[in-house]
Structure 1
Amino acid sequence: MTGTLISLISIFIGIIAANMFGYFKKKYSFGFTGNTLIGVFGSIFFIKSFGRLGFNPWSIMANGNFHSTPFIINCLVSIFGGIIGLIVIKNIYNKLNK
């Protein structure tokens, strides 16, 4: 795998997490398109933030070897990024519409 493929997988995981969370928690849903956009940006924001700790795609592929533990942590961070992004944006949306 390359760093670019790992980045795309991470973003895709964030999209799936945001859509699944929105599906099961209707209170936080913005529909498929809204959840997808929030999943993309939430995932990217969290991966960029926590990537500095050594979980970025290029650290996962250091020296041409695939390191599975940072990849799993990267996926978990992406999942939490999509979910937390959805919760935060919904809270902001609710506060602005009061």
Structure 2
Amino acid sequence: MAFDVALPEWTVVAGLPLCLLAGVALGLAHFGALWRQAQALAGKVRPSRAAAEVLARFAVLVAGFVAASLLGAGPLLALALGVMIGRWLVMRRVERADP
């Protein structure tokens, strides 16, 4: 079963910056939560809670990628680039905070 979203070409091109920004937000949320979860695991958080947080993080990430993939290759690549930019921003913040 294929989903065919029939959007005019200009809407896909105009949506690329939005997909990039959504990807940055998704990357910041995903990798920021990963960092907070790593800190919590070091503090001996319950394994069931840690597993639930992992599932929630990946569910949101997968939902974002599936939504972008329904719009085509361009929006999917823009979202992926945004996620990597978000990862880079989180890593810069972590490197500054960690001596």
TM over 0.5: no
* TM bucket, shorter chain: 0.3 to 0.5
Q: TM-score, normalised to structure 2's length? A: 0.41
Larger Rg: 2
